[in-house]
């Protein structure tokens, strides 16, 4: 979502004379688009700001200037506090108000002082976004839903991104068509809770995510469609199971975070679903699409997590046989209910559990990758490889495949015989 928002900020500022640059050195403006999800991500903002400050001071000595803006969820959560800790920052702007960046730039010039906007105006944000977005390449994001009403007890998202909001169907269609026209072959529909999508269509009716997908897959030039991230509780749309069964362009891969395998912890987290409900969902998807693969997010060391609860998490990783997983140590976030709980798990226990979980995850990932050796898989090539003469692409299951190949193949899909599998990638040769 932050990658998508950053592209949009660049688009917004282009008509005001800015162009994108890949380093802060000599820049007229630097925007730090920040993440507040874990303490580590938040703390990075201040160390990064210290680095950028030096460049701003160097430019000021030479008689020029640099505007520094802090955008995103740290801006939303910390607000004016940022100016206190880093008085050289000029603009603080939240994730639902960055469409006002040009006005904020005017304001700092007019007042010769800092400017801040932390309002939540979802509707206005998408309505004022420039139409002519730059290319995102072979694989592009389109935001369809923002915010979250779930209030998991560990999470800051409902506070920093605000309430759930779904974009209009016509806006999503227009943006997807533009992305395809600019070279995108794969579109990922984004939302903090994308399965809660319920946008208004032209005739005023409300469309679910399944219905939206059913229409998007008809777009010419689109080869692959994905959506991210889903909440298990909201996977109630029967149309979604149907489109997985019938639509080839919809990739047989789903990121479905469970966070913990223990029902006690799931309840404490306010996840609103059980382990059994989640496993039933997985079974239902596999019934609709037998080759469906899954990824998940896990948190270890949630307050009150015992060794037994943790072993339930290990067992669900084995039981589902994930293709990919992201795992994190629980990080107490200011203002969330879990941060005030007793029975916080000591840091060394969290470290040890994370290590054990990650080794099981990698084992499962490797197993999943090994199953593909000898198979012919469609690979969409999207970049050059690390070594000379190599290119890299993705299977339908988001596995990275590296082959010897020409850069001209980037942007195309080819059938590849998988020759070897590692924990994080596959290698292969193109079927001639
Ligand atoms: N909406 C998604 C869902 O329901 O799973 C997740 C969105 S969140 C941006 C991405 C992931 O960050 C979560 O799935 C969770 O695993 C992790 N996360 C969120 N808050 C966390 C915290 N306080 N400590 C550690 N990890 C956290
Ligand atoms: Fe955070 Fe996802 Fe829970 Fe919403 S559903 S509160 S974004 S973890």
Q: What pLDDT tens digit does each residue of the chain (432 aa) get?
A: 899 999 999 999 999 999 999 899 999 999 999 999 999 887 899 999 999 999 999 999 999 999 999 999 999 999 999 999 999 999 999 999 999 999 999 999 999 999 999 998 777 777 777 776 777 889 999 999 999 999 999 999 999 999 999 999 999 999 999 999 999 999 999 999 999 999 999 999 999 999 999 999 999 999 999 999 999 999 989 999 999 999 999 999 999 999 999 999 999 999 999 999 999 999 999 999 999 999 999 999 999 999 999 999 999 999 999 999 999 999 999 999 999 999 999 999 999 999 999 999 999 999 999 999 999 999 999 999 999 999 999 999 999 999 999 999 999 999 999 999 999 999 999 998
Query: Is residue 190 within 6 Å of ligand 1 at its C-beta?
Result: no
Instruction: Name the pTM for this structure.
Output: 0.94
Contact (CB, 8 A) for 364 and 321 = yes
109: Cβ–Cβ under 8 A, 6 or more apart, which residues?
none
* Tokens standing for residue 12: 């917004």
Q: Which ligand places an atom closest to the C-alpha of 153?
A: 2
Q: Which secondary structure element, helix H or strand E, spans residue 265, and what is its range?
A: helix 263-268
The residues with which 414 forms a beta bridge, in sequence order, are 379
Nearest to 44 by CA among 55, 35, 53, 52: 35
Helix/strand number for the chain, H first, E second: 14, 19
Mutate which of 190, 192, 232, 335 for ligand 2 pocket (most atoms within 8 A of beta carbon): 192
Helical residues (DSSP H) of 63-117, grouped into ranges: 73-78, 81-85, 101-111
The residues with which 410 forms a beta bridge, in sequence order, are none
Query: Is residue 152 within 6 Å of ligand 2 at its C-beta?
Result: yes
- Specify the DSSP class assigned to residue 250: B
Residue 28's alpha-carbon distances to 31, 36, 95, 114, in angstroms, are 10, 26, 22, 16
The residues with which 403 forms a beta bridge, in sequence order, are 391
Q: What is the per-residue pLDDT for 183?
A: 93
Task: Please tell me whether the peptide bond between 142 and the residue prior to it is cis, using omega within 30 degrees of 0.
Answer: no
Question: 46 φ, ψ to 5°?
Answer: -70, -35
Query: Is residue 245 within 6 Å of ligand 1 at its C-beta?
Result: no
Q: Which ligand places an atom closest to the C-alpha of 149?
A: 2
397 Cα: distance to centroid of ligand 1 (angstroms): 21
Q: What is the per-residue pLDDT for 145?
A: 95
Q: What is the per-residue pLDDT for 373?
A: 98
Query: Is residue 72 within 6 Å of ligand 1 at its C-beta?
Result: no
Give the angle 305-307-311 at the CA atoms, nearest 5°: 100
d(CA 255, CA 296): 6
Q: Which ligand places an atom closest to the C-alpha of 302?
A: 1
Q: What is the per-residue pLDDT for 50?
A: 95
Q: What is the per-residue pLDDT for 43?
A: 84
Q: What is the per-residue pLDDT for 171?
A: 94
């Amino acid at each position: 979502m932050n990658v998508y928002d950053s592209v949009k900020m660049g688009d917004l500022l282009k008509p005001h004379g800015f162009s994108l640059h890949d380093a802060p050195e000599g820049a007229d403006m630097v925007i730090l688009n920040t993440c507040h999800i874990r303490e580590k991500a938040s703390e990075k903002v201040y160390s990064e700001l210290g680095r950028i400050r030096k460049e701003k001071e160097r430019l000021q000595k030479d008689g020029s200037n640099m505007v520094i803006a802090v955008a995103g969820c740290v801006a939303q959560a910390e607000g004016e506090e940022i100016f206190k800790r880093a008085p050289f920052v000029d603009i603080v702007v939240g994730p639902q108000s960055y469409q006002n960046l040009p006005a904020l730039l005017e304001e700092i010039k007019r007042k010769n002082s800092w400017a801040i906007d932390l309002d939540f105006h979802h509707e206005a944000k998408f309505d004022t976004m420039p139409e002519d977005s730059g290319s995102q390449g072979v694989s592009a994001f389109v935001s369809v839903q923002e915010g979250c009403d779930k209030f998991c007890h560990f999470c800051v998202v409902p506070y920093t991104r605000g309430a759930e909001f779904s974009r209009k169907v016509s806006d999503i269609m227009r943006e997807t068509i533009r992305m395809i026209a600019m070279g995108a072959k794969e579109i990922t529909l984004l939302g903090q809770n994308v399965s809660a999508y319920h946008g208004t269509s032209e005739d005023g009716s409300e469309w679910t995510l399944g219905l939206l997908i059913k229409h998007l897959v008809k777009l010419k030039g689109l080869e692959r469609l994905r959506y991210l991230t889903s909440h298990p509780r909201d996977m109630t749309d029967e149309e979604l199971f149907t489109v997985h069964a019938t639509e080839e362009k919809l990739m047989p891969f789903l990121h479905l975070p469970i966070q913990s395998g223990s029902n006690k912890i799931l309840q404490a987290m306010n996840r609103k679903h059980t382990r059994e409900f989640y496993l039933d969902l997985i079974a239902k998807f596999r019934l609709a699409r037998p080759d469906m693969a899954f990824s998940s997010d896990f948190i270890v060391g949630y307050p009150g997590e015992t060794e037994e609860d943790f072993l339930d998490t290990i067992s669900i990783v084995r039981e589902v046989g994930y293709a990919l997983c992201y795992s994190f140590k629980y990080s107490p976030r200011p203002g969330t209910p879990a941060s005030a709980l007793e029975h916080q798990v000591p840091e060394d226990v969290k470290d040890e559990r994370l290590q054990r979980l990650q080794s099981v995850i990698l084992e499962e990932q490797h197993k999943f990758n090994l199953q593909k050796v000898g198979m012919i898989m469609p690979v969409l090539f999207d970049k050059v490889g690390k070594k000379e003469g190599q290119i890299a692409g993705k299977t339908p299951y988001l596995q990275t495949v590296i082959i010897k190949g020409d850069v001209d193949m980037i942007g195309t899909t080819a059938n590849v015989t998988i020759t070897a599998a590692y924990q994080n990638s596959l290698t292969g040769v193109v079927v001639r």
